[in-house]
Structure 1
Amino acid sequence: MREITFEDIYTIGDVIFENDMYRHVHYPEMLIRYDSNFLEFKRMPSVDQFTSAAKYLREFHHDRGQKHIKFYFPPNMQIPGDLNTYLKDEGFSLGFMELYSIDPCEFRKKMNLEEVNVKEVEGQDFEKFISLQYDQDLEYGKEFADQKVELQKRQFKDPSIVQLLAYFKGEPAGAADVISKGDTAEIDGFFVLERFQRRGIGSCIQQYVMERFHDKTIILVADGEDTPREMYLKQNYQYLGFQYQAQKVFGE
């Protein structure tokens, strides 16, 4: 199996500018989506280099009515102490993501649950998929949720993306997107409603992915400070690395 890196992760957005320090990703169809509008550093910047890049991105976003700036740092590199201090002093939120992969045959399969039915979204399932997602996305505001619906409509038409909906006793309970690209299939947008958690639904969704894409390497990115990462390790996923990020949201 070849080496999987963060370069294999699907990004919604296009590189509109690039130099030897960073690449600028922009997605005009959804300006409010932080993960689609950011700068990604190719090498670790100094404080001065970061402030210059931040000024550029802030001006670019401000001109388009965007109220955030977000940055990804080079994978598997800690943020130096002076830059880390600067980011915290300037009010940036810091976090990191972790990359995992698994060969489908290595997935720790659980017993099939009769109460759970995982389906690929089509026809009338799409409205249920949208409704389930919309309620979740309202946490980030109505504008975000409305724009996410349009994004999901575009993805529904994309042959490289499979949208999954999990039912528990006939009721929509969880969902995921699977992006197929080359020799990988990436699990994204994966969630189970809180009231349905700890019933094996998440494992059933993953098992469906393992069987559907049995000839690919399954990859996913997890929040490095969130508990699902522990579940992935128990299910035999392999930890591949980390990537730090920083973002700041401005008021009116």
Structure 2
Amino acid sequence: MCKISFDHIYHAGEVVAQSDLYVHYQNQDMLLQYNSNFLHFLRMPSLEEFEQTAAYLHDFHSRHGQHHVKFTFPQNIKPTEELIKHFIENNYNYRYLELFTIKPSEFPCVEKDSNISIQFVTENEYMDYSNLKYQQDVLFGSEFAKAQRDVYKKDFQNPNKWQIVSYFRGNISGCVDVIIGKGTAEIDNLFVLEEYRKQGIGSMLQQFVMDHCPDKLVILVADGEDTPREMYIKQRYCYRGFQYEVQKVYL
């Protein structure tokens, strides 16, 4: 397989414009989903180029009823100090993400706990899964959370989108989504309810993925400044690079 990069990370957006500077993605079915409606810079822009592109994206999104702009930058290149100063002064939220990979055979084997069960979502578990997702999504607004329900229903019918849930003593406790690609399995939205954390549920969800993807390279993205990245390092994931992104919401 070719070298893994952020280009292998799934997003639902389609290309609506492209130049030698950027690629612009939009998901017409889910305009509120920031990760599917954004602009990716192919090279690091100058401040003038960023301002011009930001004005273009803001105008485009405004015409489609979208109240945000989001930009991602080339992998393993940090924005210039001039750009970062501009982000801060203009109320952009900027951060960097880190890409990790692991071969399932290298994942440290997790001892099973009889209190915890992990399984694929079927019709029987779908309502539990949907309600748990709603608890996550409503933090970004009820309109977004309601729209996401349609996305999950579509994904439920897609054989390349796995929905997995965990139960602790019969109670829904966590979930994870897996996106199956050519040679890869991308872990996405790994989530455990706060009252069930530190029980090993997150590790067991990952172990379930490893067991069902023995011939895939498992990939995931973590917030570069968040604590889960430390867990992935301890679990023997390999660091593959970073990518900066910025976004701004217009109220």
- Measured against the shorter chain, the TM-score band is over 0.9
Q: What residue number does 1:133 align with?
A: 133
Tell me, in whole angstroms, the C-alpha distance in 1 between the residues paired with 2:18 and 2:126: 37
Q: What residue number does 1:80 align with?
A: 80
Tell me, in whole angstroms, the C-alpha distance in 2 between the residues paired with 1:23 and 1:74: 11
Q: SS at 2:172's partner residue?
A: strand
Q: SS at 2:45's partner residue?
A: coil
RMSD: 0.9
Structure 1 segment 21-170 matched on structure 2, within 5 A: 21-170=21-170
**Structure 2 residue 228 is the aligned partner of structure 1 residue 228:** yes
Moved over 4 A (4+): none
The structural deviation recorded for 1:86 is: 1.2
Tell me, in whole angstroms, the C-alpha distance in 2 between the residues paired with 1:138 and 1:83: 32
Identity across matched positions, percent: 43
Amino acid of the structure 2 residue aligned with 1:98: E
Tell me, in whole angstroms, the C-alpha distance in 1 between the residues paired with 2:225 and 2:189: 17
Q: Is the deviation greater in 34-43 or in 2-11?
A: 2-11
Tell me, in whole angstroms, the C-alpha distance in 2 between the residues paired with 1:44 and 1:230: 28
The structural deviation recorded for 1:152 is: 0.4
Q: What residue number does 2:203 align with?
A: 203
The structural deviation recorded for 1:198 is: 0.3
Give unmatched runs, 5+ long, in structure 1.
Answer: none
Tell me, in whole angstroms, the C-alpha distance in 1 between the residues paired with 2:243 and 2:135: 29
Q: What residue number does 1:194 align with?
A: 194
Amino acid of the structure 1 residue aligned with 2:246: A
Amino acid of the structure 1 residue aligned with 2:239: Y
Tell me, in whole angstroms, the C-alpha distance in 1 between the residues paired with 2:17 and 2:63: 16
The structural deviation recorded for 1:196 is: 0.4
Tell me, in whole angstroms, the C-alpha distance in 2 between the residues paired with 1:15 and 1:196: 40
Normalized against structure 1, the TM-score is what?
A: 0.98
The structural deviation recorded for 1:2 is: 4.1
Q: SS at 1:111's partner residue?
A: coil
Tell me, in whole angstroms, the C-alpha distance in 1 between the residues paired with 2:90 and 2:137: 28
Tell me, in whole angstroms, the C-alpha distance in 1 between the residues paired with 2:12 and 2:238: 25
Report Cα offsets for 1:92-149 as digits up to 9, x if no partner: 1111110000000000112111111111011121111001111121111100100110
Q: SS at 1:198's partner residue?
A: coil
Report Cα offsets for 1:15-47 as digits up to 9, x if no partner: 111111000010111111111110000000000
How many residues matched? Answer: 251
Q: What residue number does 2:10 align with?
A: 10
